[in-house]
């Protein structure tokens, strides 16, 4: 049964958040399958340290697939050429699994090739291709050697990056891309507050009443939660990318006062019309939970379209209020962060990322007085 990308990624996030995955690490097999899934995974901050692509000619893969057999009693998979069981009873009960004919396998490979070329650009610098057309033990040791290696960052210092921009400007995706490529800790202020409440900590108990009443959490509480996170060893060693705070001059001054000034600041400017187009056309299917966009990802049928719902936060009136508040505060923020880099966020996200990346690697510009 097919499930929506939204539900699939939600299930993935829940599984990877469990104690054994956090403590021991994890391996994803065949995930993501599409570029959309890759972007959704990145936006949640689920960043793998190593990506391995096993590659072999289609003719080899088709031949291997045709030889698969399954033991219906145990579920064990065998192969007519490479892994045939010695027990005659097991041999006699093996069956051919469905969907492995030459035509069906060729179609699956075609779909794979169409998707993989759009997925790979999402993982620059951490991808290794290994030939699968060689003995399994050789493949294994090449993969093991790679995952035991540590990536070197191109950044010549410990980055402390701040991304500023209105709702819908793409801060979350850019933060995820930076976290992936440079190993930075992705600190989303809104998500951090939610996690603090979920942890039932002392700060969480302070925040929860504000969440229940749907009112703004006081700056004095937010800054304490942020300091607690930014003081952790991973942030100190790896650096961080912060978004969702500060939103105004007072918050920026508070952040500086507690000793967490960013050394790279980017403002993502996006016109009101583009923000309205990005956000007001978002819809959710209440039946499957899948998210659609009436322009970029329309629903496949009229029946689905008829039942789609809009989040009240995505109404044009609400968005205009949020945008007006942001831009009223952004002038003072830009003045406070005098060496900030102003970017056009109204373009392809990977183009925006290239501009951000160049601003991180290159030395800060020197202002001429």
Do both 183 and 267 map to the same domain? yes
Do both 185 and 93 map to the same domain? no
* Phi, psi of 22, rounded to the nearest 5 degrees: -65, -40
In this prediction, residue 150 carries a pLDDT of 65
Do both 272 and 137 map to the same domain? no
How far CA 124 is from CA of 49, 145, 149, 172, 271, in Å, comes to: 11, 19, 16, 18, 29
Whether the pLDDT of residue 59 is over 50: the answer is yes
| Arithmetic mean of pLDDT, 231-237 | 88
Do both 225 and 302 map to the same domain? yes
Three-state secondary structure call for residue 147: helix
- Any domain includes 210: yes
Q: Which residues pair with 353 in a beta bridge?
A: none
- Any domain includes 155: no
Do both 269 and 121 map to the same domain? no
What CATH number is attached to the domain comprising 119? 3.40.50.300
Do both 116 and 189 map to the same domain? no
Instruction: Detail the DSSP E strand segments found in 2-142.
Output: 51-55, 68-70, 77-79, 127-131
How far CA 87 is from CA of 68, 93, 161, 190, in Å, comes to: 17, 10, 61, 58
- Any domain includes 7: no
Do both 109 and 203 map to the same domain? no
| Arithmetic mean of pLDDT, 220-241 | 91
Last residue of a domain, one of 113, 147, 181: 147
Q: What pTM, to 2 d.p., does this model score? A: 0.58
**Orientation of helix 202-213 relative to helix 189-198, angle to 10°:** 110
Do both 58 and 106 map to the same domain? yes
Do both 172 and 245 map to the same domain? yes
| Arithmetic mean of pLDDT, 333-341 | 90
Q: Report the C-alpha dihedral over residues 204, 205, 209, 210, rounded to 10 degrees.
A: -30
Q: Are 41 and 32 in contact (CB under 8 A)?
A: yes
Q: Which residues pair with 69 in a beta bridge?
A: 78
| Residue 151 pLDDT class (50, 70, 90 cuts) | low
- Any domain includes 333: yes
In this prediction, residue 368 carries a pLDDT of 39
Per-chain mean pLDDT for the chain: 87
| Cα distance between residue 153 and residue 134, in whole Å | 31
Let me know if 193 is exposed, middle or buried by CB neighbors in 10 A (0-12, 13-18, 19+): buried
Do both 138 and 203 map to the same domain? no
CA-angle at 63, arms to 60 and 64, nearest 5°: 85
Q: Which domain holds residue 273?
A: 160-361
- Any domain includes 11: no
Residue-wise pLDDT for 270-326, tens only, equals: 988 999 988 999 999 999 888 898 888 898 899 999 999 999 888 999 999 988 888
Q: Which of 5-14, 86-95, 243-252 has the lowest mean pLDDT?
A: 5-14
- Any domain includes 1: no
In this prediction, residue 157 carries a pLDDT of 63
| Cα distance between residue 280 and residue 314, in whole Å | 5
- Any domain includes 4: no
How far CA 180 is from CA of 16, 18, 90, 173, 175, in Å, comes to: 16, 21, 46, 11, 9
Residue-wise pLDDT for 1-47, tens only, equals: 568 888 888 888 888 888 888 778 889 998 899 888 888 887 777 77
Do both 132 and 218 map to the same domain? no
Structural domain count of the chain:
2
- What percent of the chain shows pLDDT beyond 90? 34
Do both 184 and 314 map to the same domain? yes
* Phi, psi of 185, rounded to the nearest 5 degrees: -85, 125
Number of alpha carbons in the 13 Å side-chain half-sphere of residue 55: 11
Q: Which of 183-197, 202-216, 254-268 has the lowest mean pLDDT?
A: 202-216
Question: What's the chain's length in residues?
Answer: 369
Q: Are 193 and 217 in contact (CB under 8 A)?
A: yes
| Residue 367 pLDDT class (50, 70, 90 cuts) | very low
- What percent of the chain shows pLDDT beyond 70? 95
- Any domain includes 367: no
In this prediction, residue 152 carries a pLDDT of 52
């Amino acid at each position: 049964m097919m499930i929506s990308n939204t539900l699939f990624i939600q299930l993935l996030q829940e599984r990877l958040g469990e104690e054994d995955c956090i403590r021991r690490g994890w391996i994803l097999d065949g995930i993501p399958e599409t570029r959309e899934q890759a972007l959704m995974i990145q936006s949640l901050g689920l960043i793998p340290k190593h990506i391995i692509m096993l590659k072999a000619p289609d003719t080899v893969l088709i031949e291997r697939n045709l030889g698969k057999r399954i033991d219906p009693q145990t579920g064990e998979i065998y192969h007519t050429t490479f892994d045939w069981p010695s027990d005659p009873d097991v041999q006699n009960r093996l069956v051919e699994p469905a969907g492995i004919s030459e035509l069906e396998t060729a179609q699956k490979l075609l779909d794979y090739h169409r998707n993989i070329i759009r997925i790979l650009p999402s993982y620059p610098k951490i991808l290794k291709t290994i030939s699968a057309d060689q003995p399994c033990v050789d493949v294994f040791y090449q993969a093991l050697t790679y995952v035991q290696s540590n990536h070197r960052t191109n950044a010549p210092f410990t980055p402390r990056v701040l991304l500023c921009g209105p709702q819908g400007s793409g801060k979350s995706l850019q933060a995820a891309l930076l976290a992936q490529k440079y190993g930075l800790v992705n600190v989303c202020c809104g998500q951090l507050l939610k996690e603090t409440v979920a942890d039932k900590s002392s700060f969480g108990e302070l925040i929860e009443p504000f969440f229940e009443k749907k009112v703004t959490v006081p700056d004095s509480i937010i800054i304490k939660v942020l300091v607690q996170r930014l003081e952790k060893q991973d942030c100190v060693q790896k650096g961080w990318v912060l978004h969702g705070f500060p939103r105004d001059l007072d918050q920026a001054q508070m952040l500086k006062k507690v000793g967490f000034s960013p050394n790279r600041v980017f403002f993502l400017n996006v016109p009101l019309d583009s923000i309205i187009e990005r956000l007001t056309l978002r819809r959710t299917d209440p039946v499957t939970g899948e998210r659609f966009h009436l322009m970029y990802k329309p629903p496949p049928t009229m029946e689905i379209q008829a039942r789609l719902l809009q989040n009240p936060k995505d109404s044009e009136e609400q968005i205009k209020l949020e945008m007006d508040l942001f831009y009223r505060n952004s002038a003072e923020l830009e003045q406070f962060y005098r060496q900030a880099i102003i970017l056009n966020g109204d373009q392809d996200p990977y183009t925006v990322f290239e501009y951000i990346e160049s601003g991180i690697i290159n030395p800060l510009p020197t202002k001429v007085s």
